């Protein structure tokens, strides 16, 4: 046995295999299997899409949480930095004030009404304030002495001398402006007066200042309410650091300002969420624990920002929590739109109960996302349905086309190589062929029988004709043997027979004997003889033999010319 012989191609085996492979059952199995596999694959892919789509909500919530964490961290970090810088600034300026007062053996109250001392003090701390402002991400820095340049003026108790320097814009290279303070000092240091400059700060403009001053402790950090800086549209949150002398005398206050423009620009969040609004809300005027739907935060008490891609829509009017979806998730509305978002308390510079952060997106965005999910699922189902239909259509065509083709070939009597044909169709072809052959054989046998019958008929007809001719010949011969007149008399006499006589006559002609005639007619022999005599008499004959002879002649003539038919 050679290697080649082992793998030698066996045409018969190959043909069997091909036939098997081409069989309808195998084809149907293959197509069904492929269809099922495709549908399962499509279903799995669709399922994964659907799961992905449905997970968008979870991803969205996770994004909100992540954004909240980042925003809260940014805000905390920003204010922690300001707190640290503020404490340093307070220590530094406290020391400068203390030194100035000690050198002149003065107290803080003794510099009231002294333009010179206040100017000198402002000059001495100017660089510190300016430096801290430039070092930090704040929109302004200030130092107010607990003194005024003119105690004789109305409202002098609320007027405090000091420096208030602001950045004109959040840019790092922004120019500085002197909002409060002695203009000459500002100009000397290239800080020009603000458009709405005033010499001193009116503490009445700072909500809660008197209460804060009473409770302030050395080294502490506090926040003002968010309020609009007089003369501007800037809403500001001030960080306040009290200044105390070693003996506990209140010297004044320094701190930083964070205004809404600055907050908006510096806190803008990089995000994947569309239309993000981040809010830092001062909630100490909106106590926790209110029933849902009653928690209201005035936008005036908030600082807010958008995203770094430029989107920002400030909350308008009152932000009302309309529904708490969970501990953190809320639905809320303002004057122009409704939001979905999360909120949590945020600890700023040691104050853990004062502020809340909100991460909000317009509710329509969320609805759109949900709708899109539904639409995606619907679309996926539609695509799957289409795919299933297309597959069914494709496979049914693939499956049916060869059958239809074969039937067409069958209809057109085309011959095909059986190896190329579907085996079942080939078998059908074979079966039909056998049936046709059987039918042909039966037809042939029937044709032979018909032919034989035809021949027999022909032979019988021929014999009949022969017999007929013989009969004619015999009639003719008999006719010649009988007396024509007697025969004519016989024929004429037939019409004179009564019904009974005719009946008896015909019985005689049919070969019946006298006994049979008597039984059949239920008559006596005498009656029969009576009728016989009448018949003989009317026909002019004298014996049964003569009667039968004339009758035979008459029948022979009738078969030729159909005479006497009316008699019978």
* Binding footprint of other proteins on the chain (CB under 8 A): 115, 148-150, 153, 159, 161, 168-169, 171-173, 175, 177, 182-183, 187, 192-200, 231-233, 261, 264-265, 274-275, 306, 309-314, 316, 335-337, 364-365, 368, 375-376, 378-379, 382, 385-386, 389, 393
| Cα–Cα dist 177/274, whole Å | 36
Nearer to other proteins, 78 or 200 (CB): 200
Task: Answer yes or no: are the C-beta atoms of 489 and 539 closer than 8 Å.
Answer: yes
Nearer to other proteins, 92 or 337 (CB): 337
Instruction: Specify burial of residue 284 (Cβ count, 10 A radius: 0-12, 13-18, 19+).
Output: middle
Shortest distance (Å) from residue 246 CB to other proteins? 30
Nearer to other proteins, 86 or 306 (CB): 306
Shortest distance (Å) from residue 20 CB to other proteins? 32
Nearer to other proteins, 139 or 301 (CB): 139
Of 61, 52, 56, residue with least CA distance to 340: 61
Order of all β-strands in the sheet with 329-333: 296-298, 318-324, 329-333, 338-348, 351-362, 277-282, 302-305
Q: Kindly report the backbone phi and psi dihedral angles of residue 286, in degrees, each rounded to the nearest multiple of 5, phi listed first.
A: -125, 85
Nearer to other proteins, 282 or 334 (CB): 334
Shortest distance (Å) from residue 73 CB to other proteins? 23
Nearer to other proteins, 115 or 434 (CB): 115
| Cα–Cα dist 34/389, whole Å | 14
Shortest distance (Å) from residue 307 CB to other proteins? 9
Q: Which helix (H) or strand (E) holds 74?
A: helix 24-103
Nearer to other proteins, 22 or 161 (CB): 161
Q: Output the CA torsion 228→232→237→240 (10° steps).
A: -100
| Cα–Cα dist 137/277, whole Å | 21
Burial 110-145 (b: 16+ CB within 10 A, else e): ebbeeeebbbebbeebbebbbebbeebbbbbbbbbb
Q: Are strands 192-198 and 176-180 parallel, antiparallel or unpaired?
A: parallel
Nearer to other proteins, 86 or 186 (CB): 186
- Contacts of residues 325-332 at CB distance under 8 Å and 24 or more positions apart, as own/partner, are 328/65, 328/68, 329/61, 330/358, 331/363, 332/358, 332/360
Task: Answer yes or no: are the C-beta atoms of 360 and 277 closer than 8 Å.
Answer: yes
Nearer to other proteins, 37 or 386 (CB): 386
Helix, strand or coil for residue 182?
coil
Shortest distance (Å) from residue 310 CB to other proteins? 5
Nearer to other proteins, 168 or 496 (CB): 168
Shortest distance (Å) from residue 322 CB to other proteins? 19
Q: What are the CA-CA distances from residue 324 to residues 51, 275, 356 (Å)?
A: 27, 21, 15
Task: Answer yes or no: are the C-beta atoms of 312 and 392 closer than 8 Å.
Answer: no
Shortest distance (Å) from residue 205 CB to other proteins? 14
Q: What are the CA-CA distances from residue 565 to residues 73, 465, 495 (Å)?
A: 137, 21, 12
């Amino acid at each position: 046995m050679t290697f080649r012989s082992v793998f030698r191609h066996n045409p018969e085996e190959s043909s069997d295999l091909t036939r098997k492979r081409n069989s309808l059952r195998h084809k149907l199995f293959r197509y069904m299997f492929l269809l099922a596999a495709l549908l399962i694959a499509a279903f799995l892919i669709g399922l994964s899409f659907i799961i992905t789509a449905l997970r968008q909500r979870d991803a969205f919530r996770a994004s909100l949480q992540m954004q909240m964490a980042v925003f809260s961290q940014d805000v905390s970090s920003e204010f922690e930095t300001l707190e640290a810088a503020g404490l340093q600034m307070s220590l530094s300026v406290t020391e400068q004030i203390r030194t100035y007062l000690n050198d002149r053996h003065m107290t803080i109250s003794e510099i009231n009404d002294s333009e010179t001392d206040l100017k000198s003090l402002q000059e001495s701390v100017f660089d510190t304030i300016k430096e801290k402002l430039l070092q930090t991400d704040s929109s302004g820095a200030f130092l107010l002495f607990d003194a005024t340049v003119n105690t004789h003026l109305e409202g002098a108790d609320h007027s405090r001398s000091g420096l208030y320097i602001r950045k004109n814009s959040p840019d790092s290279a922004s120019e500085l402006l002197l909002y409060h303070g002695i203009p000459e000092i500002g100009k000397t240091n290239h800080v020009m007066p603000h458009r709405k400059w005033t010499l001193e700060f009116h503490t009445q403009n700072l909500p809660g200042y008197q209460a804060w001053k009473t409770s302030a402790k050395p080294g502490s950090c506090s926040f003002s309410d968010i309020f609009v800086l007089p003369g501007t549209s800037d809403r500001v949150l001030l960080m306040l650091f009290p200044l105390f002398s070693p003996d506990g005398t209140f010297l004044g206050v320094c701190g930083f300002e964070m205004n809404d423009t600055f907050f908006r620009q510096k806190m803008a969040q990089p995000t994947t969420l569309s239309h993000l609004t981040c809010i830092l809300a001062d909630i100490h005027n909106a106590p926790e624990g209110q029933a849902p739907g009653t928690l209201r935060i005035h936008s005036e008490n908030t600082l807010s920002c958008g995203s770094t891609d430029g989107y920002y829509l400030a909350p308008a009017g009152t932000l009302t929590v309309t529904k708490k979806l969970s501990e953190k998730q809320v639905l809320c509305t303002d004057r122009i739109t409704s939001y979905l978002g999360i909120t949590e308390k945020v600890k700023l510079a040691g104050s853990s109960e004062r502020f809340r952060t909100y991460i909000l997106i317009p509710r329509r965005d969320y609805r759109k996302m949900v709708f899109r999910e539904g639409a995606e699922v619907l679309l996926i189902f539609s695509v799957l349905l289409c795919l299933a239909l297309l597959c069914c259509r494709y496979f049914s065509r693939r499956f049916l086309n060869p059958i239809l083709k074969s039937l067409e070939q069958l209809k057109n009597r085309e011959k095909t190589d059986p190896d190329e044909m579907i085996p079942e169709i080939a078998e059908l072809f074979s079966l039909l062929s056998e049936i046709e052959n059987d039918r042909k054989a039966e037809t042939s046998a029937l044709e032979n029988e018909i032919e034989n019958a035809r021949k027999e008929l022909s032979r019988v007809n021929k014999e009949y004709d022969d017999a007929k001719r013989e009969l004619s010949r015999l009639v003719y011969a008999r006719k010649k043997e009988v007396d024509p007149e007697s025969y004519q008399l016989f024929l004429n006499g037939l019409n004179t027979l009564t019904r009974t006589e005719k009946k008896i006559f015909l019985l005689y002609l049919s070969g019946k004997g006298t006994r049979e005639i008597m039984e059949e007619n239920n008559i006596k022999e005498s009656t029969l003889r009576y009728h016989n005599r009448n018949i003989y008499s009317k026909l002019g004959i004298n014996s049964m033999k003569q009667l039968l002879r004339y009758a035979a002649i008459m029948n022979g003539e009738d078969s030729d010319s159909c005479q006497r038919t009316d008699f019978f």
